[in-house]
């Protein structure tokens, strides 16, 4: 069987890959915009009522916006998968580095500082780094505790102020 010439795999340079990622980035902005248009078509705000748009017009606008949304979403998904495959082929990312659950293999090896690439030494792009700032921030669970402590401090201050105010009023009544 002969191979179809258009089915041959093209080799892309780093600049081409960066341009493709830039195009994906622009489409993500369009994706968010189309989601906003779909939500706007469903919204019952005063500006849409003033413009006199009928239910049918709003349905059509919603249908158009959601069609565009899902088309862009599918396109972005396919192109991002191609980028991942290209990274795997280049040896930058291990083919099995992302498990079916979506977590990195390195999550289990948190205690190992300085993970090494397969067969190499040191750290490489695509290898889990236990000191990765985004990974550390995602595991820091003090925001809720800090907010709770702040709320308790504010409450204590309010109670103290009310108690002092009541105490002052009682003094005035007894005088």
pLDDT (tens digit, 9 = 90+) per residue, 99-119? 444 544 444 444 444 444 444
Instruction: Tell me the percentage of the chain whose pLDDT exceeds 90.
Output: 35
pLDDT the model gives residue 88: 84
DSSP state of 108: G
Computed over every residue of the chain, the mean pLDDT equals 76
| Residue 7 zone, left/alpha/beta (φ > 0; ψ -120 to 50; rest) | alpha
pLDDT score, position 135: 67
Q: What does the pLDDT average to over 144-167? A: 89
Rounded Cα gap, residues 101 and 18, in angstroms: 28
Please tell me the predicted confidence (pLDDT) of residue 119.
43
Backbone angles phi, psi at 50, to 5 degrees: -70, -30
For residue 56, what pLDDT band results from cuts at 50, 70 and 90?
A: very high
CB-CB contact of 62 with 42 (8 Å): yes
HSE-up (13 A, CA, CB side) for residue 44: 1
What integer pLDDT is reported at residue 90 of this predicted model?
Answer: 80
């Amino acid at each position: 069987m002969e191979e179809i010439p258009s089915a041959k795999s093209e080799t892309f340079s780093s600049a081409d890959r960066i341009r493709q990622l830039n195009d994906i980035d622009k489409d993500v902005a369009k994706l968010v915009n189309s989601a906003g248009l779909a939500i706007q078509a469903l919204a019952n705000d005063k500006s849409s009522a003033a413009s006199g748009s009928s239910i049918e017009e709003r349905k059509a606008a919603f249908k158009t916006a959601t069609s565009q949304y899902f088309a862009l979403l599918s396109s972005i998904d396919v192109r991002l998968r191609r980028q991942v495959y290209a990274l795997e082929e280049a040896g930058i990312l291990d083919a099995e580095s992302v498990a079916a659950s979506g977590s990195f293999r390195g999550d289990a090896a948190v205690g190992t500082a300085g993970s090494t690439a397969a067969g190499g030494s040191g750290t490489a792009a695509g290898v889990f780094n236990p000191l990765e700032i985004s990974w550390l921030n995602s595991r820091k669970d003090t925001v809720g505790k800090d907010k709770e402590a702040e709320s308790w401090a504010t409450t204590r201050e309010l109670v103290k102020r009310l108690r002092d105010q009541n105490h002052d009023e009682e003094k005035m009544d007894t005088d």
